[in-house]
Amino acid sequence: MAVDLTSATMDNKFVIQVFLEACRKADFQDKWMTAGTWAELVCLHYKLGCDVAFDGNKLVHAIGRDKALTSLIEGKDGVINEHISLFRNKYRPKGMSKQIYCFYASVKGKRPEGINASAQWHTNIDKATDLLEKKITRNTTLKFESTRINEIIDLTKLEGSTLIGKRKRPQNQGNVSEPGIKAADVSVLDPSSTQEVSSLACTPTVCPNTSFWQSPEAFILFKPVENETVLEAVNNQIELLGEANKSDFGYTELIENIKDFNLKDLSTYQIFCLRQKCTYLALALTLAKENMNKWTWKKCCEEAITLLKKTGIKQTSNPQTIMEWYRKFRVKRRFALVIQRNRLPPFLEQNQDITTTIKQYCKEHLGELSVEFVFDYLHHTILPKFVKEIYGDSRDELGEEKYQEVLKQVLKPYRLTCISISTVSRWMNVLGFKYELRRKGYYVDGHEKPATIEYRKAFCERYLAYEARMHRWVQVKEEVAKKLEEDGEIAEGSGYYYIDQGTQERMVEFHVDASDKLLLLGNISGDFGGNLSVRFPTGCKPLIAFGHVESIFKQFLISLTTWNGPDGERNIAPKDDGLGVMISAFQSRAAQRS
C-alpha cells in the first residue's frame, strides 16, 4: 500500500523523533530496509496525516543534518538510547547513479548478524511487503508513546482548521418536531447531530451562539496566559510584535535569550529577519482576529504572505514556515536566537590558559604585532613551557632533535603535526584579531572601568598603610586635644592616645589633616610638614610620596565650530594643531614644592 507523501512538511527534529520511536517496534527490527520503505511503514502503521507525513528523502535529509545522531549510527555498537541500536548503510544499484540509504534497527546492543553484517548485506534488503499490505484498523494502528510527538500532531491538526473534533451521527433524525426545518439543518441547532467529517477536509460549521474565540481549540492554538481571554492574548501578541519596528532597538523586546550575548554579536541580517518574522506574524494574527470564524489558521498565514508580497516583503512563501514561527513564539512570546560564534581549534579549546596568554600577549604588543611575531612567541615561549609541563624536561635538556620529536607527540592528540605560519594566522583570526587598513581612532578614558574601580580600593588601603611611614603626624598633649574636641575642631576620640616614654606625659597623635590648628599647637620638627608617627613600623625606612602631572600645549587652538560666509566662504585652517610643548612636573607634599 503506497502512502501519499506529497505534503511532507514537518521539521527534521519531528521526523527523527517519529523514526526513532518506530525503530522500537519488533516488527520493524532485525532487517535492512530502505529509507523509503521505513517512511511508508511509519506513515501507514501510525496513520500520519498529510501535514505530518514524510518520505524517504526527508528521512535521510533529517538524519544527515543531525551530526550527533549520525556519529552514533556510524559507531561500532550503534546504541542510540536505552531501547535501540541503529545502523545506516548505503549502496548504488547497478545502472543507477543515485545511492540508496538503508537502516537496520535492533534492540540495544545487538548488531547485524550473518549476511546482514557481510559485504553482501544489500542483497538481503527487506521490502516489507507483508507489513505494507497489512490492513490497518483502528485497533491495529500504532500509538506514539512520546507526548511531545502527539502534541505536535494535535497542534498541526488545529492549525489546519478553526474547530476540530469528530461529531457523532444523530441517533434519530426523525425526532425533529419543528416544521420547516430540514434534516440537513439540524446540525446548526444541535452540534451533536453533524456528520462525521475530518477537520482537515473543511471548516466545520460553528454554532451561531458559540464564538470560536471561546472554544477550547482557540485556547490551545493562541495560548493565552493567566487572566487573558483568547482575543486579549491575540491583541497583546500583535502589540508586542509591533514593537520590533517601532524603534531602532525595539526588536530587543522580542529576544528571549537577550542576556546570553552582546547585541554586537547580532548581524544586521539576523535583525532584518527577526523584524520580518514579527511583521508576518502580526499580520497573520490580525487576519485571524477578523476572519477566524470562517478561515483556518493556515489560510490566515497564506493571506499574510500574499499581502506582504505586494509590499515587497518576500522572506517566505510557505504558510507552514509562519506557522512554525508562531509555534516557537506563542509559548514565551519571544524568539530564541542562535548566535554563531567561531569555534576554537582543539588545541586552544582544551588549553584555555594558553589561549588567554596568547590573547593578552597580542593585546600588549599591538604596535609590533604580526603573524611572524606570534609564531616566534609560540615556538620560543609557549610550546617549550607546554612540553616541560608534560614531560618534565626543558628544551635545552632534551636537545633540539629530541624536542621536535616530543613536540610532535604532544600535538598529535590535537590533530596537529606542527604549528605553521598559516596555522598561527588562522588562530589569530579565530581569537578576534583582524589585519585591516589603519584607521583613525581615539583614546577612551578608562577611569570608570570595573577593574580600575576595584584597584582604587586596594590602592587606598595600601596608601593608608604607607602613611604610617610618612611625615603626616602631629603629637599634642591630652589636655590640648580635649580642648580642640570641645571647640569642635577635631572629631571626638579620633586620635591615638599614648604616654610619652621620655616625659611620661599623656599625649594624643593626630593626622596633620585633622585640623589646621594642630600644626600651630603641635611641635613639628623638620621641613616635611609633619612628624613621623609614634607607631612607625620597626625596621622600615621613612617614605616620601611624589605625584606626577603633565600637560601639553599646542601651537594652534582650533575649535569644533566656526563661522562661514553667506556664500560658503571658509577660513583656511591649519591641517593639525601644530607644534606641541609638554610640561611635566613632580610634586611632593613633604617637600612642599614642585
pLDDT in tens, 215-254: 888 888 898 988 889 999 999 999 999 999 988 888 988 8
- Asked whether 241 and 282 are in contact (CB, 8 A), the reply is yes
Sequence ranges of the domains in the chain: 12-145, 216-330, 346-430, 450-521, 546-588
C-alpha grid cell for residue 268? Answer: 544586521
Amino acid 164: pLDDT:
38
Full pLDDT tens readout for the chain, 594 residues = 443 333 334 578 889 999 999 999 999 999 999 999 999 999 999 988 877 888 899 999 999 888 888 888 887 778 888 889 999 999 888 888 888 999 999 998 888 999 998 888 988 999 999 999 888 888 888 988 888 787 777 776 666 554 434 444 444 434 333 333 333 333 333 333 333 333 333 343 333 334 788 888 888 889 898 888 999 999 999 999 999 998 888 898 889 888 877 777 788 888 999 999 999 999 999 999 998 878 899 999 999 999 999 999 988 999 999 999 999 898 889 998 887 666 788 899 889 899 999 999 999 988 889 999 999 999 999 999 999 998 888 889 989 999 999 999 999 988 899 999 999 999 998 888 888 887 777 777 788 888 888 899 999 999 998 998 998 899 999 999 999 988 888 888 889 999 988 888 999 999 988 888 888 888 888 888 889 999 998 889 999 988 888 899 988 887 778 788 788 888 888 888 889 999 998 888 877 644
Residue 282 burial (CB count, 10 A): 20
Identify which of 99, 127, 98, 131 has the alpha carbon closest to the alpha carbon of residue 33. 127
Output phi, psi for 87, to 5 deg.
Answer: -130, 150
Amino acid 561: pLDDT:
80
Burial of 148 (0-12, 13-18, 19+ CB in 10 A): exposed
Residues 6+ apart with CB under 8 A from 14: 52, 149, 152
- Asked whether 19 and 13 are in contact (CB, 8 A), the reply is no
Amino acid 236: pLDDT:
93
Longest Cα–Cα distance of the chain, Å, equals 128
Give 244-261 pLDDT, tens digit per residue.
998 888 898 889 888 877
Identify which of 244, 312, 297 has the alpha carbon closest to the alpha carbon of residue 275. 244
